[in-house]
Structure 1
Amino acid sequence: MKDARDDIIKVMLVDDMRGARTGFMMMLNNDPNIIVSSQAADGAQAIEFLRQSPQQLPDVILMDVRMPVMDGIEATGIIKEQFPQIQILILTTYDEDDYAFDGLARGASGFLLKDATPKQLRDAVHAVHNGDAVLTPRITGEVLNRGVRPISDNTRIKLLRSLFDGLSKREYEVAELVAAGLSNQEIAEHLFIETASVRRTVSRILARMHMRDRVQIAIAWYQSGLDQITGGKPA
């Protein structure tokens, strides 16, 4: 018989501010399917806990950026290398956009503004736990445009664009919306199709482009300069 606790999403809070951790915990614990199972005051402390408590690993980590001892970006890279099954959400502010991009590049499943509403926070936890990415449209373009390293190699640009050009029209449309930060449900509503269809399409895109997750789709889209081109898939 399946234990009901198996359906509970275990969350770890990593923030050097005790008050911030308390606030996030109060918002998350209002969801009966989420429990804050552990906390840490910096990245090093978080990693030590994960290494010493293999039976108590969280499903999702909410990771602050600027912390003493070890910041959230370095910690994200180490955790994703050693515990790839754990999903990480970077908590950011507008003046930390470059940090947010670095977090994505190191394997985070997305980023969320610290002033997110309780519902947005809970929805984000559910999203990454379900394998989705959280790339909030409100800041996705600014983060990626500022954080994506410019590519001067025309061969690399052509390669990236050829990967997108090789997609079907529907796959291209979905990739564009993924890059814009829309969730599967939002993409489904935009294209008037089922969410399950979007999920299957994203899986096909990842397989065809040999990418790990939808964050990489967004990064590749911006690196190829396709965000500057309008009018849909080239004929």
Structure 2
Amino acid sequence: MKPIRVLLVDDDPLVRVGLSLMLGGAGDIEIVGEAGDGAEVAALAERHSPDVVLMDIRMPTLDGLAATEILRAGPQPPEVVVLTTFHADEQVLRALRAGAAGFVLKDTPPAEIVDAVRRVAAGAPVLSPAVTRQLIARVAGADPARERRARARARLDLLGDRETEVALAVGRGASNADIATELYVSVATVKTHVSHILSRLGLNNRVQIALLTYDAGVLDPED
């Protein structure tokens, strides 16, 4: 199997060295490049075609948020995992909205960072939709703005009934297997519905589906 190609982006050289040593010790991961600022990311990504970018949020010239938006807007973009020192941060939330697959704290145990890289490379989010909603609640308050709610509901209205059921289940943090059991369909069918939702709504991943259902205010509070 081909190794997972990783690009490290952090303005602290010591952090990059630590991440490089940590990830380089995993036999299935290859560090293909490093950057000290977000302004370098697009060119390095084009040159090295990484599968995953570990992206610091706060950098001097171009921050990780802007760099994430640039990467995710391009063709065949790499997955982005945000590096942060804060659990609840407005910029982290904005990075998730821009298409980042999740975030990890810089003091996360090494094995968990390696696992995060493997998970996003396999197409899975680093954090569950439930954790995403907790982040939203802490950063943005209990209720989304009225305009955001109206926009989110209008987008959900583009989905068919079954797709809406799947989107809500994703928002509750249900796995594909859980959704399949709930709706009496196969896991393959659920995966197809999720793919259709992402394509129809122009979303990048399940985290963004969860964000949309939260913004729309359509989840049961007990969820």
Aligned residue in 2 for 1:18:
13
Cα distance in 1 for residues equivalent to 2:216 and 2:105 = 26
Find the aligned partners of 1:82 and 1:18 in 2 and give their Cα distance: 27
1:34 equivalent to 2:40? Answer: no
Q: Which moved more, 1:73-82 or 1:61-70?
A: 73-82
Helix, strand or coil: the match of 2:6? strand
Question: 1:38 aligns to what SS in structure 2?
Answer: strand
Q: What TM-score results when the alignment is normalised by the length of structure 1?
A: 0.75
Secondary structure of 1:135's match? coil
* 1:152 equivalenced with 2:152 (yes/no): no
Matched, 1:221 2:213: yes
**C-alpha displacement of 1:16:** 0.5
1:79 paired to 2:71: yes
Equivalent residue, structure 2, for 1:94: 86
- Post-superposition offset of 1:75: 0.8
Deviation for aligned residue 1:218: 1.0
Matched, 1:143 2:138: no
Paired residues of 1:112 and 1:136 also in contact (CA < 8 A): no
Unaligned 5+ runs, structure 2: none
* Coordinate RMSD, CA, aligned: 3.3
Is 2:96 the partner of 1:104?
A: yes
Q: Which runs of 5+ in 1 are unaligned?
A: none
Out of 38, 42, 45, the position equivalent to 1:50 is 45
SS for the counterpart of 2:146 is coil
| Cα contact 1:174–1:198 (8 A) shared by 2 | no
1:42 to partner: Cα distance: 0.7
Aligned-pair CA distance for 1:69: 1.0
How far has the Cα of 1:172 moved from its partner? 5.7
Secondary structure at 2:7's aligned position in 1?
Answer: strand
Aligned length: 214
Aligned partner of 1:152: which letter?
Answer: R
Residue-by-residue CA offset, 1:194-226 (whole Å, 9 max, x unaligned):
xxx556514413414723221221111210223
State the alpha-carbon separation in 2 of the partners of residues 228 and 98 from structure 1. 24
Q: Is 2:60 the counterpart of 1:68?
A: yes
2:21 counterpart letter in structure 1:
M
1:147-194 CA distances to partner (integer Å, 9 max, x unpaired)?
59934147546546656892379736741343xxx7x5xx6489889x
**Change beyond 3 A, Cα 1:77–1:162:** closer
The answer as to 2:199 corresponding to 1:207 is no
Give 1:17 shift: 0.6
User: 1-side partners of 2:163 and 2:97: how far apart?
Assistant: 26
- Flag the 1:111–1:35 CA change in 2: closer, same or farther, 3 A: same
Kindly provide the amino acid, as one letter, of the partner of residue 215 in structure 1. V
1:18 Cα deviation after fit:
0.9
The residue aligned with 2:166 is 171
Q: Percent identity?
A: 30
Change (3 A) 1:147 1:111: farther
Comparing 131-140 with 86-95, which one deviates more in the overlay?
131-140
Q: CA deviation at 1:66?
A: 0.2
**Does the aligned pair in 1 maintain the 2:163–2:197 contact within 8 Å?**
no
Counterparts of 2:108 and 2:128 in 1: how far apart (Å)? 10
